[in-house]
Amino acid sequence: MIDRQRVIGDLITPNNSKIILLVMDGIGDIPGDKGLTPLQEANTPNLDSLAQKSDLGQTIPVLPGITPGSGPGHLGIFGYDPLKYQIGRGILEALGIDVEVGEKDLVARGNFATLDDDIIVDRRAGRPSSEESAKIVEILNENIKQIEDVEVRFYPGKEHRFVVKLTGEGLHDKLEDADPQKEGKPIKYTKALDEASKKSEKIINMLIDKIKEVLKDQPKMNFALLRGFSKYPNLPQFGEVYKLKPAAVAVYPMYKGLAKLVGMEILKAGQTIEDEFNTVKETWEKYDFFYVHIKKTDSYGEDGNFDSKVKVIEEVDKNLPILLDLNPDVLVVIGDHSTPCAMKGHSFHPVPLMVYSKFTRKGLSKLYNEFECARGTLGTIYAVDVMPLALGYAGRLEKYGA
């Protein structure tokens, strides 16, 4: 397997260029009732104007036909081969809310859920507010402190999400998710995928039963789904690999965690898209690479809420001039995966990609949407090749070979 990062790293020549990677999570979609995708339906004069000056294409996050999680989807566009670097979602969520993770720790991402007679009827428990779910986390911490010789600690996340940290000897992370992934399914317990993880399997399944008992009288958040079991991995650091000073602007913990894991500095970004873009503006002189994450395009796709996904896209477009006025040398607009509203979940569909710089073959495309991108000058590429493209457009790569 080609070590892309090593090859690219050997070719890098630092300069004063600035790169923005704007990730609209789950942006890719399929046509809805009107025969249009949310990107086609949305009023996006700024994105469409940018498309006329850009190279367009589409990306495959992992391999054709494979539906990626958010972790592999982001690792790919950061230039880390998701087939080589497999990271549990738990560590990303934990780092994103500043949970300290040590050698004896095993962490998982949790969803509060609604259970009815051992059947999962709502995987997100009605999407409670962060304040509501934090109260349930307090209840868990008061009632569950230890399972056998393993300490247990819960940490509140955003909305229905939380993190659980298990601390003890002999804990390993080769485990199936304790989440059926679909509503209408019965409780799913974890299963060890190797002999070393048998202890973890036993502890986690005991924990699941204990959570069910403690929360049984709660009206909606009466159960929890656990997934992304993970220990702390060691990854090549983004800034060292690409000789960049990178910063991350994200609202949701998991994406802060992923950026932190690869060595990006996490900036305080506020809560709105305008806040995020203004954060880039306010710190423009301090960094030469900005990863900017928009979450709600994915959230509304998972909810099957076509109209709200359209509105988020329009909100991005409305505020895009904040970034454009900074005159970045390269602006990449992309998603980490597709989340079609009709499917209410991540999918295998290619992801629309747009790359703006002064070196593009502009003029072919008129709009930014899935179908224009499918016809674009960049063609269909793997997400792991986006970072080399960005560096090339920024003039940061030397010629390869004589």
**Two tokens at 232?**
């702390």
CATH code of the domain occupying 92-230: 3.30.70
Instruction: Give, in order, the Cα–Cα distances in Å from 62 to each of 93, 191, 213, 218.
Output: 21, 25, 39, 39
Q: What is the pLDDT of residues 115-137, one digit of tens each?
A: 999 999 999 998 899 999 999 99
| R_g of the chain, CA atoms, integer Å | 21
Tell if the pTM clears 0.85, that is, is over it: no
C-alpha 292/C-alpha 288 separation (Å) is 13
Average pLDDT value for residue range 264-283: 95
Q: Is the pLDDT of residue 1 over 70?
A: no
Phi, psi of 256 (to 5 degrees): -65, -40
- For 297, the token pair is 């395009």
Domain map (residue ranges) of the chain: 4-84+235-393, 92-230
CB 80 within 8 A of CB 402: no
**Tokens 């060691």, residue located:** 234
In this prediction, residues 239-248 reach a mean pLDDT of 96
Q: Residue 17: pLDDT above 80?
A: yes
Domain 4-84+235-393 classified CATH 3.30.390.50?
no
pLDDT score of 254 = 83
Can you point out the beta strands (E) in 284-346?
289-294, 330-334
pLDDT > 80? residue 402? no
Residue 159 zone, left/alpha/beta (φ > 0; ψ -120 to 50; rest): left
What is the pLDDT, as a whole number, of residue 303? Answer: 92
Average pLDDT, the chain: 94
Q: Tell me, what's the pLDDT at 18?
A: 98
Question: What pLDDT is attached to residue 91?
Answer: 86
So what's the pLDDT on residue 4? Answer: 84
Q: What angle do CA 375, 377, 380 make, to 5 degrees?
A: 65
Q: For the segment 39-90, what is each residue's pLDDT rounded down to a tens digit? A: 999 999 999 999 999 999 999 999 999 999 888 999 999 999 999 988 877 8
- Provide the 10 A C-beta neighbour count for residue 302: 18
Tell me the CB-side half-sphere exposure of residue 351, using CA atoms within 13 A: 36
